[in-house]
């Protein structure tokens, strides 16, 4: 439930009002129908974070084994049990700033008058404005449908909203600071490298393109053409301009691998090396596959361009490492035993075709 950068601030405020209104309306219900969600504000400040957490009285009474949630309408009772409540919530609401845990502490607690809810004000001190924030919240595990609405503020501006639940209990937030932009660059560059490293289909496609050899400059050019292709469709899909279904994209990626292997075996029938054009064309297909990864990761709305650039840079770095390693190995083999090198090209191409065919069948019928 992240919001795109094109959403005006006024709409963010309207959404906040609607969320809070829904919470308060549900809180007015009877004890048989408690509001199944909590409400968390996170405010970024020069010396750390602060905010408030609003939780339903029925949830508090359940966790603290109180006789009745109605007693939490009394400020004295809330004050009496506030330390016990925070002790429970501190284990279930975890804040991380730039990779390190940021302990938070209560600065006050009070009932929300007439709304069957308790408000906990909190603060977490940090030596600087964090760039990358991680909020982990699974506040009331006994309720399988419980949700936590998270709002991130910078100054007086609401800049990010998220909903956490049992299945999605963690979200990553990036601040609009220099540290935040640096964190975006680092995180998404690493994500691009990681995606290439764990993607056997992308790796095999690249290896298939490299089997015929060539100078390092030519091979890097071929892989760069692949990057240009997937960068275009990655941007289109991430911006939701063109989003083909995965049931078409994944089999198409498998067929691209089959094609590369077959092309290597047929290279003797033509005089020109068209691998760069093949890489460019099929890069368009692979870009849609990359986009599915980014959508699952979640792109920061205010750093969309930077995150896309960093991810593509990471992919290019990963591909560059593969090029250097494979090209060096094949070059050594050709200089030592040219006959064996030709056999490696043939056998390698057949393996590439077989793997692509297997993935195609698996993705179409599995």
Q: Is 37 helix (H, G, I), strand (E, B) or coil?
A: strand
Q: How sure is the predictor about 199, in pLDDT bands with cuts at 50, 70 and 90?
A: confident
Phi, psi of 112 (to 5 degrees): -90, 110
Sign of CA dihedral 308, 314, 318, 319: positive
- What percentage of the chain carries pLDDT values higher than 70? 87
The alpha-helical segments, DSSP class H, found in 97-215 are 178-197, 200-210
Using the predicted structure, report yes or no on whether residue 85 has a pLDDT greater than 90: yes
Using the predicted structure, report yes or no on whether residue 357 has a pLDDT greater than 90: yes
Q: How sure is the predictor about 82, in pLDDT bands with cuts at 50, 70 and 90?
A: very high
Q: Give pLDDT, residue 268.
A: 53
Using the predicted structure, report yes or no on whether residue 53 has a pLDDT greater than 80: yes
pLDDT, one tens digit per residue, over 156-168 is 788 888 889 988 8
Using the predicted structure, report yes or no on whether residue 25 has a pLDDT greater than 70: no
Q: Give pLDDT, residue 358.
A: 93
CA distance 82 to 88: 10
Q: Where are the domains of the chain?
A: 9-175, 180-365
Using the predicted structure, report yes or no on whether residue 27 has a pLDDT greater than 50: no
For 75, other C-beta atoms within 10 Å of its C-beta total 12
Mean per-residue pLDDT over the chain, rounded: 83
Lowest-confidence range among 28-32, 140-144, 147-151, 236-240? Answer: 28-32
For 252, other C-beta atoms within 10 Å of its C-beta total 18
- Ranked by mean pLDDT, the top range of 50-54, 98-102, 301-305 is 50-54
According to DSSP, the residues that pair with 43 across neighbouring strands are 50, 153
Q: Give pLDDT, residue 157.
A: 81
Q: Give pLDDT, residue 243.
A: 84
Residue 239, Cβ density class (10 Å: 0-12 exposed, 13-18 middle, ≥19 buried) = middle
Contacts of 33 (CB under 8 A, 6+ apart): 26
Q: Is 144 helix (H, G, I), strand (E, B) or coil?
A: coil
Q: Stretch 173-199: mean pLDDT, rounded?
A: 86
What tokens does 114 get?
């007439």
Q: Stretch 1-18: mean pLDDT, rounded?
A: 42
Q: Let me know how many helices (H) and strands (E) the chain has, helices first.
A: 10, 10
Q: How sure is the predictor about 5, in pLDDT bands with cuts at 50, 70 and 90?
A: very low
Which stretches does DSSP call E strand in the chain?
37-45, 48-56, 93-97, 100-101, 105-112, 117-125, 132-137, 147-154, 157-164, 170-174
For 217, other C-beta atoms within 10 Å of its C-beta total 8
How many Cα neighbours within 13 Å face the side chain of 224? 6
Residue 64, Cβ density class (10 Å: 0-12 exposed, 13-18 middle, ≥19 buried) = middle
Which of 32, 30, 51, 55 has the alpha carbon at shortest distance from 41? 51
Contacts 24+ apart (CB under 8 A), 150-153: 150/40, 150/42, 151/16, 151/19, 151/39, 151/40, 151/41, 151/42, 152/42, 152/44, 153/41, 153/42, 153/43, 153/44, 153/51
Q: Give pLDDT, residue 271.
A: 57
Count of residues for the chain? 366
Q: Stretch 323-350: mean pLDDT, rounded?
A: 88
Q: Give pLDDT, residue 4.
A: 36
Q: Which residues of 317-352 are buried (b: 16+ CB within 10 A; e: fewer)?
A: ebbbebbeebbeebeebbeeeeeebeebbeebbeeb
Using the predicted structure, report yes or no on whether residue 254 has a pLDDT greater than 50: yes
CA distance 257 to 274: 15
Phi, psi of 42 (to 5 degrees): -125, 120
Q: Give pLDDT, residue 115.
A: 81
């Amino acid at each position: 439930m992240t919001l795109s950068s094109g959403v005006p601030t006024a709409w963010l405020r309207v959404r906040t009002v609607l969320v809070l209104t829904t919470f308060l309306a549900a809180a007015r219900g009877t004890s048989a129908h408690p509001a199944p969600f909590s409400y968390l504000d996170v405010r970024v400040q020069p010396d750390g974070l602060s905010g408030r957490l609003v939780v339903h009285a029925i949830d508090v009474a359940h966790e603290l084994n109180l006789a009745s949630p109605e007693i939490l309408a009394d400020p004295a009772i809330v004050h009496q049990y506030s330390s016990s409540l925070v002790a429970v919530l501190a284990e279930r609401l975890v804040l991380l700033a730039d990779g390190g845990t940021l302990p938070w502490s209560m600065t006050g607690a009070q009932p929300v008058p007439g709304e069957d809810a308790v408000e906990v004000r909190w603060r977490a001190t940090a030596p600087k404005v964090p760039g990358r924030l991680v909020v982990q919240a699974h506040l009331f595990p006994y309720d399988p449908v419980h949700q936590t609405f998270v709002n991130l503020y910078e100054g007086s501006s609401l800049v990010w909203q998220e909903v956490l639940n049992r299945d999605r209990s963690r979200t990553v937030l990036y601040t609009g600071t220099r540290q935040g932009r640096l964190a975006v660059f680092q995180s998404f560059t690493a994500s691009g490298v990681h995606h290439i490293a764990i993607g056997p289909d992308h790796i095999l496609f690249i290896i298939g393109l490299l089997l015929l050899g060539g100078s390092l400059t030519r091979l890097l050019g071929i892989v760069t053409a692949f990057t240009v292709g997937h960068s275009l469709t990655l941007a289109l899909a991430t911006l939701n301009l063109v989003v083909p279904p995965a049931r078409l994209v994944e089999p198409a990626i498998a067929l691209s691998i089959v094609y590369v292997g077959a092309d290597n075996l047929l290279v003797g029938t033509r005089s020109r090396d068209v691998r760069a054009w093949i890489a460019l064309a099929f890069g368009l297909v692979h870009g849609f596959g990359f986009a599915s990864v980014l959508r699952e990761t979640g792109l920061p709305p205010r750093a969309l361009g930077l995150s896309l650039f960093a991810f593509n840079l990471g992919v290019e770095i990963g591909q560059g490492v593969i090029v250097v390693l494979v090209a060096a190995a094949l070059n050594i083999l050709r200089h030592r035993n040219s006959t064996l090198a030709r056999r490696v090209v043939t056998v390698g191409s057949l393996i590439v075709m077989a793997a692509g065919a297997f993935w195609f069948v698996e993705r179409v019928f599995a």
